[in-house]
């Protein structure tokens, strides 16, 4: 009897397609099953590796200065997480932050980063501290209490703290997120929207969330010699200023980019032109050089 695909259930149709592409199950398609199992085992390993990294202090922070637009004064530092992996060596955030979220460990990472950053930044009371938080963290009702509890326990001045919302996942519940932000702001903590212009819905966020600052993504800064990017930067600065927001441009590498962003009206600049992410000793040295320590 011929096979009638319309009479088959979903998995059976899938089986048929697999057979068509790879041949019947005696062929290599069968051998992908153990592969999948091994991948799953590796994923679980990864999760426990990461939790071990937190427990055994394999994570550490670098701090990148945020400067006034003339580059003369440091106003704050952004904490950027790194992982000193026992076998893979030092890993940048790009190599693991997304994975952390895929495994649902963003609260664990977030709590570690906030605590470590506030502790270390107690040594630099003259400047602010920016900490990245993923949009996902706002979904947990314990998040705000955790942040407020940490700053209080450490005696960290909340008005020095700024949380940069990284839009790794779409914010779907604006009421919950806005209410959380309101509580943080009531305690004096400021909220910045990171990587502005690259997310799915930057303008919606601007309209629906009570923010203090936007950070213009480095992709626009890199392309200011192109008319489109330059026009977008001018429009974004005008929009942010009209809404009473502060503006930081990130990824500023050259003198020309600094001049452009300053003239466009950005309040603060961050990028390799001023400093790469620094370890605490190098940061203290830079503050001394600037006459701020
Ligand atoms: P971000 O928050 O936008 O951080 C800026 C990134 O740009 C950093 O990369 C920084 O090292 C890099 N950068 C700074 N200045 C320049 C420059 O002039 N030129 C170029 N080409 N790059 C520059 P990093 O440290 O690899 O961080 C990547 C992203 O990982 C961050 O982007 C942030 O989204 C995420 N991330 C970092 N730390 C954390 C964290 O503690 N928690 C969470 N949730 N995400 C984090
Ligand atoms: Mg950031
Ligand atoms: Mg950014």
CA of 21 to the centre of ligand 2 (A): 44
In a domain, 32, yes or no: no
74, two tokens: 């440091």
Of 121, 119, 100, which is closest to residue 109 (Cα–Cα)? Answer: 100
Query: Where residue 100 sits, what CATH number does that domain have?
Result: 3.20.20.450
What pLDDT is attached to residue 23? 30
Is 168 touching ligand 1 by the criterion CB < 6 Å? no
CA of 289 to the centre of ligand 3 (A): 26
In a domain, 23, yes or no: no
In a domain, 235, yes or no: yes
User: Which ranges in 155-265 belong to alpha helices (H)?
Assistant: 174-186, 202-208, 218-222, 227-242, 255-264
238, two tokens: 């005008």
In a domain, 54, yes or no: no
Q: Is 161 helix (H, G, I), strand (E, B) or coil?
A: strand
Atom of ligand 1 nearest to the CA of 106: 44
Is 80 touching ligand 1 by the criterion CB < 6 Å? yes
Q: Which residue has the tokens 């952004």?
A: 78
Which residue, by CA, sits nearest to atom 25 of ligand 1? 80
The domain of 150 spans 60-289
Choosing from 166, 169, 252 the residue with most ligand 1 atoms within 8 A of its CB, the one to mutate for a pocket test is: 166
- What is the rounded radius of gyration, in angstroms, for the C-alpha atoms of the chain? 23
With a cut of 70, list the residues of the chain below it in pLDDT. 1-43
In a domain, 11, yes or no: no
For residue 110, count other CB atoms closer than 10 A to its CB. Answer: 23
In a domain, 159, yes or no: yes
Whole-model pTM?
0.87
pLDDT, tens digit, 9 for 90 and up, residues 75-123: 999 999 999 999 998 999 999 999 999 999 999 999 999 999 999 999 9
pLDDT, tens digit, 9 for 90 and up, residues 117-144: 999 999 999 999 999 999 889 889 999 9
Query: How far apart, in whole angstroms, are the C-alpha atoms of residue 79 and residue 61?
Result: 6
Strands 59-68 and 268-270: antiparallel
In a domain, 130, yes or no: yes
pLDDT, tens digit, 9 for 90 and up, residues 200-215: 778 889 999 999 999 9
Cα dihedral sign, 69-252-219-164: negative
What pLDDT is attached to residue 18? 30
Which residue, by CA, sits nearest to atom 15 of ligand 1? 271
280, two tokens: 């605490």
Tell me if 46 sits within 8 A of 103, measured CB to CB.
yes
Is 115 touching ligand 1 by the criterion CB < 6 Å? no
Number of domains the chain is built from: 1
In a domain, 41, yes or no: no
């Amino acid at each position: 009897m011929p096979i009638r695909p319309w009479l088959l259930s979903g998995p059976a149709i899938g089986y048929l397609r697999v057979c068509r592409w790879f041949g019947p199950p005696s062929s290599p398609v069968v051998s992908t099953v153990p592969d999948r199992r091994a991948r799953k085992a590796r994923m679980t390993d990864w999760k426990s590796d990461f939790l071990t990294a937190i427990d055994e202090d394999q994570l550490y922070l670098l701090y990148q200065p945020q400067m006034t637009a003339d580059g003369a004064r440091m106003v704050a530092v952004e904490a950027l997480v790194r992982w000193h992996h026992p076998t893979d060596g030092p890993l940048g955030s790009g190599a693991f932050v997304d994975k952390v979220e895929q495994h649902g460990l963003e609260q664990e990472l977030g709590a570690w980063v906030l605590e470590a950053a506030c502790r270390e930044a107690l040594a630099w009371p003259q400047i602010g501290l920016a900490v990245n938080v993923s949009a996902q963290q706002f979904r947990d009702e314990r998040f705000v209490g955790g942040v407020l509890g940490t700053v209080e326990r450490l005696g960290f001045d909340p008005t020095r703290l700024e949380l940069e919302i990284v839009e790794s996942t779409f914010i779907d519940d604006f009421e919950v997120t806005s209410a959380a932000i309101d509580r943080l702001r009531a305690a004096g903590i400021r909220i910045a929207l990171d990587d502005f212009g690259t997310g799915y819905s930057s303008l919606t966020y601007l309209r629906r969330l009570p923010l203090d600052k936007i950070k213009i993504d480095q992709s626009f800064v890199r392309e200011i010699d192109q008319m489109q990017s330059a026009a977008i930067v001018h429009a974004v600065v005008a929009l942010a200023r009209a809404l009473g927001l502060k503006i930081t441009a990130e990824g500023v590498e050259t003198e020309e980019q600094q001049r452009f962003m300053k003239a466009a009206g950005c309040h603060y600049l961050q990028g390799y032109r001023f400093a790469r992410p620094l370890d605490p000793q190098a940061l203290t040295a830079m503050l001394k050089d600037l006459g701020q320590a």
